């Protein structure tokens, strides 16, 4: 059976610190606002991003029961 140290050493070998740093940003509120000013899309919620993905594949207007509807 593996010891605690062996498990931690194995985990360290597989850990990619640069990837972790990309996902876990640290900075001041001023830094964050500067980033938002440059890239406002980062403030969108998960629902908004999902809607953006759906719209990226296009829409079309069709008539169903004499009413114009948008098909995604």
Task: Kindly state the tokens that stand for 62.
Answer: 């069709």
pLDDT at 10: 85
C-alpha span between 48 and 51 (Å, rounded): 5
Through-space distance between the first and last CA atoms of the chain, rounded to whole angstroms = 54
Task: Locate the domains of the chain by residue range.
Answer: 4-71
> pLDDT per residue over 14-68, tens digit each?
887 777 777 887 889 999 999 999 999 989 999 999 999 999 999 999 999 999 9
pLDDT-based confidence at 1, cuts 50/70/90? low
pLDDT at 4: 86
């Amino acid at each position: 059976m593996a010891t605690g140290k062996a498990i931690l050493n194995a985990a360290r070998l597989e850990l990619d610190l640069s990837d972790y740093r990309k996902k876990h940003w640290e900075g001041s509120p001023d830094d964050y606002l500067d980033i938002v000013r440059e890239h406002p899309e980062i403030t969108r919620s998960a629902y908004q991003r999902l809607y953006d993905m759906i719209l990226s594949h296009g829409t079309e207007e069709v008539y169903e029961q004499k009413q114009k509807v948008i098909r995604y």
